[in-house]
């Protein structure tokens, strides 16, 4: 099929490249001409593992191009995906201006040559499917020589569940595909579009093999527009709450002398709970959880419902981010004039995305308190320099260098390469060997042998290190 993807951010670029790899002919459109110019040179503006390689394969498969001319792309397309940003407004509501503009322009570019499906992939408040339809109709009326009734189109909601850092695998091997629409005809177009994905009728790229035991058919959930929109919000709210729950349990573990990772393993092996998203740490970040939970709270509020669980989930996360400062104060007392080395800036590993990253809040607080900040991130440092130039950070070219003369280091992002650090060597670089492990990445015993005063999140080892209480009983190897 001929497909247009509007918005070449994390979602749009990955969606476009994957659809082209599956054999569709894709045009990706953005209003940002600098981004498009880079993409035309095969220079992908975001960091996403495997995307450059898949782009090269996609060009040979269905074919993909990048343009700023939305009208020309829409005119030639059967399916138009809207994948523009829906960032939060100061009130917590979603900013729909990009979505509205994309929908209106799509309508204005339509003619009667074919039936088109406009698919909303952006995460939007419930009811936006109807809004998109209205705006497309307005766009059609705005100076379009075609009469509205002559132009056939359907609107669908197809929420995106990819995770930055593993977006290619998430897109090629999804747990499910959700399609919401009013008309059967609209749903049929999307089922046809996704047929190669649903039936897994493609050769997996060598750098992203099909997971062992992956099902022969991907489940497709077909539903109404409203339910599809709600599925996305409910999924993100649940995941944010699950991490928040692990964090709250970790905080209690720390008080009573239990070990959070062991406790979470103990509950996660229960098939009703599941082990993923139970890692305690210094809180979630990223462009989605915070904005989507807030937006869902607003929607609930519009209907006179106070979403207390969602409110608590945000509150727990806010508190969790303050833990780093609290733990540094417990170890160092005074932060003024201290040097703190941060390992990681991105909100999670394998991405350069800094939106709502805990690192930023930690840095701001440390600087306010008069500390000096040295930082190393394998990928996100350029983005940080560019987007947060006002933060006075000394950027370092390695983790080792970030630790140089530091009074403490803080593991903020669990990049896999940090796991392999020679902690003995790291501690030798430092003025004081204090390690705040914000993601429970390191083995506390190994960190201690390396000379560190180690402090994780919800770990009974915190207590052992201080010699305050006896060792907690350990579970058999799991």
Ligand X SMILES: NC(=O)c1ccc[n+]([C@@H]2O[C@H](COP(=O)([O-])OP(=O)(O)OC[C@H]3O[C@@H](n4cnc5c(N)ncnc54)[C@H](O)[C@@H]3O)[C@@H](O)[C@H]2O)c1
> Closest separation between CB of residue 40 and ligand X, Å?
14
Interface ranges with ligand X (CB under 6 A): 6-12, 29-32, 35, 83-86, 98, 101-102, 122-123, 160, 162, 164, 287-288
Whether the CB-CB separation of 121 and 158 falls below 8 Å is answered with: yes
- Give the CA angle between residues 417, 422, 427 to the nearest 5°: 120
The residue with its CB nearest to ligand X is 9
Q: Please, which residues have CB within 8 angstroms of residue 285's CB and are 6 or more apart in sequence?
A: 347, 348, 355, 356, 357, 358
Per DSSP, 374 falls in state E
Whether the CB-CB separation of 131 and 104 falls below 8 Å is answered with: no
In the residue annotation, 288 being an active-site residue is answered as yes
The number of angstroms, rounded, from the C-alpha of 170 to the middle of its chain's C-alpha atoms is 12
> Closest separation between CB of residue 315 and ligand X, Å?
22
Whether the CB-CB separation of 98 and 85 falls below 8 Å is answered with: yes
> Closest separation between CB of residue 169 and ligand X, Å?
13
> Closest separation between CB of residue 179 and ligand X, Å?
15
Q: Please, which residues have CB within 8 angstroms of residue 461's CB and are 6 or more apart in sequence?
A: 259, 444, 445, 448, 454
User: Beta 2-6 vs 393-395: how paired, if at all?
Assistant: unpaired
Q: What are phi and psi of 341, to 5 degrees?
A: -100, 125
> Closest separation between CB of residue 176 and ligand X, Å?
14
> Closest separation between CB of residue 122 and ligand X, Å?
3
Cα distance between residue 301 and residue 408, in whole Å: 43
Cα distance between residue 8 and residue 44, in whole Å: 10
Task: Please count the other Cβ atoms lying within 10 Å of the Cβ belonging to residue 123.
Answer: 24
> Closest separation between CB of residue 239 and ligand X, Å?
11
Closer residue to ligand X (CB): 100 or 254: 100
DSSP SS3 for 133: helix
Closer residue to ligand X (CB): 135 or 249: 135
Whether the CB-CB separation of 19 and 46 falls below 8 Å is answered with: no
Choose among 151, 164, 108: nearest CA to 288.
164
Cα distance between residue 45 and residue 254, in whole Å: 41
Cα distance between residue 319 and residue 118, in whole Å: 41
Closer residue to ligand X (CB): 137 or 331: 137
Closer residue to ligand X (CB): 30 or 254: 30
Q: Which of 288, 384, 396, 455 is catalytic?
A: 288
Cα distance between residue 41 and residue 66, in whole Å: 10
Closer residue to ligand X (CB): 80 or 193: 80
The catalytic residues are 288
């Amino acid at each position: 099929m001929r497909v247009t993807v509007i918005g070449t951010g994390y979602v749009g670029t990955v969606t476009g490249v994957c659809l082209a790899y599956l054999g569709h002919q894709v045009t990706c459109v953005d209003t940002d001409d600098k981004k498009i110019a880079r993409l035309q040179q095969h220079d992908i503006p975001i960091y996403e593992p495997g995307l450059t390689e898949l782009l090269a394969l996609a060009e040979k498969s269905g074919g993909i191009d990048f343009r700023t001319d939305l009208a020309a792309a829409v005119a030639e397309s059967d399916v138009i995906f809207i994948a523009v940003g829906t960032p939060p407004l100061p009130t917590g509501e979603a900013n729909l201006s990009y979505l509205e503009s994309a929908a209106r322009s799509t309508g204005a570019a339509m003619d009667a040559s074919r039936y088109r499906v406009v698919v909303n992939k952006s995460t939007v408040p419930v009811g936006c499917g109807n809004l998109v339809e209205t705006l497309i109709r307005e766009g059609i009326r705005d100076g379009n020589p075609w009469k509205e009734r002559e132009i056939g189109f359907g609107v669908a909601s197809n929420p995106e569940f990819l995770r930055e850092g593993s977006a290619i695998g998430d897109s090629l091997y999804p747990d499910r595909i959700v399609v919401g629409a009013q008309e059967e005809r609209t749903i049929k177009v999307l089922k046809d579009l996704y047929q190669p994905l649903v039936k897994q009728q493609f050769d997996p790229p060598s750098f992203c093999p099909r997971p062992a035991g992956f099902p022969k058919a991907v489940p497709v959930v077909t539903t109404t527009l409203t339910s599809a929109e709600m599925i996305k919000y409910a999924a993100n709210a649940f995941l944010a709450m699950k991490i928040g729950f692990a964090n709250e349990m970790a905080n209690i573990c720390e008080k009573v002398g239990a070990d959070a990772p062991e406790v979470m393993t103990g509950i996660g092996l229960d098939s009703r709970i599941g082990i993923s998203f139970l890692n305690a740490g210094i809180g979630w970040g990223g462009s989605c959880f915070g904005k989507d939970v807030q937006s869902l709270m607003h929607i609930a509020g519009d209907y006179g419902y106070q979403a207390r669980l969602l409110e608590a989930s945000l509150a727990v996360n806010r508190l969790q981010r303050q833990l780093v400062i609290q733990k540094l104060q417990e170890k160092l007392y005074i932060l003024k004039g201290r040097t703190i080395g941060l390992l990681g800036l991105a909100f999670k590993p394998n991405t350069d995305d800094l939106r709502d990253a805990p690192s930023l809040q930690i840095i701001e607080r440390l600087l306010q308190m008069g500390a000096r900040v040295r930082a190393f991130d394998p990928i996100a440092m350029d983005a940080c320099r560019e987007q947060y130039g006002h933060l006075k950070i000394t950027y370092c070219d390695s983790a080792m260098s970030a630790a140089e003369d530091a009074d403490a280091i803080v593991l903020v992002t669990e990049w896999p390469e940090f796991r392999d650090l020679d902690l003995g060597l790291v501690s030798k670089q430092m003025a004081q060997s204090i390690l705040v492990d914000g993601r429970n990445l390191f083995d506390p015993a190994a960190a201690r042998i390396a000379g560190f005063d180690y402090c994780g999140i919800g770990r009974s080892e915190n207590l052992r290190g201080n010699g305050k209480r006896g060792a907690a009983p350990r579970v058999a190897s799991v």
